[in-house]
Amino acid sequence: MNPPDHTSQEQDRIRAVYQQWLASERVSAYAWHRPDVLEQSAARLRVAGQMLAATVGADLAHARVVDVGCGSGGFLRQLIDWGADPARLAGTEYQPERLALARQRTAPGVYWHLGDLDFAGDGSVTLAVANTVFSSILEPDARSRLAAEMWRIVMPGGWCMVFDFRYNNPNNAEVKRVRRRELAAWWPGQECRYRTLLLAPPVARRLGHAPHLVSALLTACVPALRSHFVYMVRKPG
């Protein structure tokens, strides 16, 4: 008898959770036009842009990037706006519906892949990105395997980049925070950067119609209220 494929089981669980999430009313809490969502999207792009410019470089035209769990392609579209060449970008996804949206909404030339990172060769990319992907993976071994695959495809001197949760959500058992020590164990690079950001969503939603200065001051002055992080690590070589 063959041993159970825990990676496949975890992928099936994530697909089911996402489908259930789409069918629920919770999706309205993340509508793009909500004041708290607009504010947090701007903050996230500001931090990501600063970190990319300081690591990969301000000129993204020659960067080869793979966005792991790319969803509907939003981050890759942002990279294109910042000067990346669509022909040097790739996005992977397990949800075919989201990948179809990515193809529809994004400039021609991006390579879209349904499934794992098996299409990418060793050391073939400048930057491997995972946005709120690891927190969706509850099984530790599955997390480690994905991290190893990202490390495999990054060229020496290239970077891994993660945007994810610092804290568990007591109302959502289907996500699990990513600890800093996990990041260090996955990717043993000496050059790394870690920044916390974003006012915790429950607080941000309550302040959605308050003056922007209120949430900005809380975010700046109370680091414990920052719910997310961006981490970048450089592969030696």
The pLDDT value recorded for residue 212 is: 82
**Cα(179)–Cα(188) distance, rounded to whole angstroms?**
15
**Cα(10)–Cα(219) distance, rounded to whole angstroms?**
34
The pLDDT value recorded for residue 153 is: 98
List, as own/partner pairs, every contact residues 30-35 make where C-beta atoms lie below 8 angstroms and the sequence separation is at least 24, other chains included: 34/205, 34/208, 35/208, 35/209
Q: What is the pLDDT of residues 137-151, one digit of tens each?
A: 999 999 999 999 999
The pLDDT value recorded for residue 50 is: 97
Identify whether the C-beta of residue 136 lies closer than 8 Å to the C-beta of residue 175: yes
Tokens 């020659």 identify what position? 62
Number of neighbours of residue 182 by Cβ within 10 angstroms: 16
The pLDDT value recorded for residue 17 is: 53
The pLDDT value recorded for residue 7 is: 61
The residues of the chain scoring below 50 in pLDDT are 25
Identify whether the C-beta of residue 56 lies closer than 8 Å to the C-beta of residue 159: yes
Tokens 């927190």 identify what position? 135
Which residues, 6+ apart, have CB-to-CB distance to 183 below 8 Å?
A: 162, 192, 194, 231, 233
The pLDDT value recorded for residue 26 is: 53
> What is the SS3 assignment for 60?
coil
Q: What is the pLDDT of residues 110-142, one digit of tens each?
A: 999 999 999 999 999 999 999 999 999 999 999
Q: What is the pLDDT of residues 30-50, one digit of tens each?
A: 676 777 778 888 989 999 999
The pLDDT value recorded for residue 111 is: 98
Report the top-level CATH class of 6-22+59-198+228-234: alpha beta
Identify whether the C-beta of residue 57 lies closer than 8 Å to the C-beta of residue 205: no
The pLDDT value recorded for residue 16 is: 60
Residue 228 pairs in a beta bridge with 165, 197
